[in-house]
């Protein structure tokens, strides 16, 4: 277990102790822009103040470069391409609040677990 794993575990434990978990799980999925590469998503959901929240930890290949592709007649980038290193792993934590049937992203600071 690396320090990133321990950090996620501490965060989930803190949420569980303070609010209790409604659901938890994990799944794998193809990257949206590279179907030959996959990422693993761990998630927990919980209720706080009458609202439902979801935290995700996304683990997958690291983005090592982001290329901009331009159209000849346009001055702005028309498309971006992510270049991945499948041997370098990155971790990202996402937090969402449920609004109706949608999940709206919020920052971890907005959650204010203190």
pLDDT at 74 over 80: no
For residue 21, give Cα distances in angstroms to 26, 54, 59, 63, 76: 14, 10, 21, 31, 45
pTM of the model: 0.79
Segment 14-70, tens digit of pLDDT: 999 999 999 999 999 999 989 999 999 999 999 998 999 999 999 999 999 988 767
| Whether the Cβ atoms of residue 90 and residue 63 lie closer than 8 Å to each other | yes
Q: What is the pLDDT of residue 4?
A: 75
């Amino acid at each position: 277990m690396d320090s990133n794993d321990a950090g996620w575990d501490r965060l989930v434990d803190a949420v569980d102790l303070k609010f209790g978990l409604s659901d938890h799980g994990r799944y794998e999925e193809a990257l949206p822009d590279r179907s030959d590469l996959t990422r693993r998503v761990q998630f927990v959901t919980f209720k706080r103040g009458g609202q439902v929240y979801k935290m995700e930890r996304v683990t997958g290949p690291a983005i090592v470069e982001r290329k901009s592709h331009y159209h000849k007649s346009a001055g702005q980038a028309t498309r971006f391409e992510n270049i991945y290193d499948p041997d370098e792993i990155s971790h990202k934590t996402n937090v969402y609040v449920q609004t109706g049937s949608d999940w709206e992203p919020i920052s971890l600071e907005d959650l204010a677990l203190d």
